[in-house]
Amino acid sequence: MRIGVVVFIAAFMLSACVHLDINKTISALNKIQPGDSQEVVFEALGPPDLRNDISDQRFVAYYQTKAGDSSDAPLTAALCTPIAFENGQVAAVGGDLAEGWAREEEARIRQAAIAETERRQAEMAEAAAQRAKVARQEKIEALENEVKPVPGGNAALNLKIYRQLLALDPYNSRYQKKVAFYEDRLANQKKAQQERAIRSAKAQRRQAWEQAREGRNKQLRQYTGNGIAEMAVHDMGNGSLYVWVKNVSRQIITTHPDNFTLMDSENNVVKGEISDSLDSVLEPGSISHGKIEYSREIEPKELIFQNRESGRISKSFQ
């Protein structure tokens, strides 16, 4: 019986002490105002019963202002009055800013992480750009050294290298001028090469033509015609023909330089000089003869003799 009484009295005394401490805390809390320093608060109230650190600049201190259901029950924020501190000063008394501040801190951390990622990406991009710049400059220097010994007459190689340099440095006026210069030079070289090839081909054809002259003359020198007039031709080379026209009819015929037409291999009429000796009146069996001269570059295809009395006869050179 005595033990029970003693326990009851001890519990009563402890409860009385707790209520006394709570009343002191409430009294001190009523004097705390926003803007007070952390030092002032802790001096008046002592260290907090609970504390929630949100960040380096923000935390919430909890002071017990309500008694629990039992003396051995754990202390919770529900039994306390919160004081929010920001940058070492009271931001709010009685309002629990912990949840809102926690959300803000999470958002800040996320944003800081994003900013850090972007910063690192920017640093990596800058480093990559710097490496590319160095590599580009090294390539330019290598190409400059490569093009120095190239002769100016080698337009193709010069153009190739300067085009590479211009691709690396598009606004370099020197490279622009070099590319334009060697494009023009290369075009002229190709044109000259084509012209030489054409001249060479013509020379080869001409040589073949001259070499085949003897065989042609065997056929050309034989009189052929239409029963009224017959013609024979001798190719003397170098743009010169000797022509014979024979009257094989029983009537008188005439020949005149205007009666002769020389055609080239492309069926164009060839301009030339025709001997006046081909201006003749031919009795039956008589012959008119003379020279026809033209450019030595021309390959004759056909010689035509034609007038009213004789009709048309020709000699083919093919």
For the entire predicted model, the pTM comes to 0.51
Do the Cβ atoms of 278 and 300 come closer than 8 Å? no
Q: Is residue 58 part of a domain?
A: yes
3-class DSSP string for the chain: CHHHHHHHHHHHHHHHHHHHHHHHHHHHHCCCCCCCEHHHHHHHHCCCCEEEECCCCEEEEEEECCCCCCCCCCCCHHHEEEEEEECCEEEEECCCCHHHHHHHHHHHHHHHHHHHHHHHHHHHHHHHHHHHHHHHHHHHHHHHHHHCCCCCCCHHHHHHHHHHHHHHCCCCHHHHHHHHHHHHHHHHHHHHHHHHHHHHHHHHHHHHHHHCHHHHHHHHCCCEECCCEEEEEEECCCCEEEEEEEECCCCCEEECHHHEEEEECCCCECCEEECHHHCEEECCCCEEEEEEEECCCCCEEEEEEEECCCEEEEEECC
pLDDT per residue rounded down to tens, the chain (318 residues): 444 443 444 444 444 445 678 899 999 999 999 999 999 999 999 999 999 999 999 999 999 999 887 777 889 999 999 999 999 999 999 988 999 999 999 999 999 999 999 999 999 999 999 999 999 999 999 999 999 999 999 999 999 999 999 999 999 999 999 999 999 999 999 999 999 999 898 888 888 878 888 888 999 999 999 999 999 999 998 899 999 999 999 999 999 999 999 999 899 999 999 999 999 999 999 999 999 999 988 889 999 999 999 999 999 988
Task: Report the CATH number that the domain containing residue 42 is assigned in CATH.
Answer: 3.30.1450.10
Task: Report the CATH number that the domain containing residue 254 is assigned in CATH.
Answer: 2.60.40.10
Q: Is residue 184 part of a domain?
A: no
Domain boundary among 79, 96, 113: 96
The whole-number pLDDT of residue 19 equals 67
Q: Is residue 6 part of a domain?
A: yes
Q: Is residue 153 part of a domain?
A: no
Q: Is residue 188 part of a domain?
A: no
Least Cα distance to 221 among 315, 121, 119 occurs for 315
Total domain count, the chain: 2
Domain boundary among 96, 121, 138: 96
Residues 6+ apart with CB under 8 A from 297: 202, 206, 239
Domain boundary among 96, 122, 143: 96
The whole-number pLDDT of residue 1 equals 45
Q: Is residue 175 part of a domain?
A: no
Q: Is residue 34 part of a domain?
A: yes
Q: Is residue 245 part of a domain?
A: yes
Question: Structural domain of residue 259, as residue ranges?
Answer: 214-316
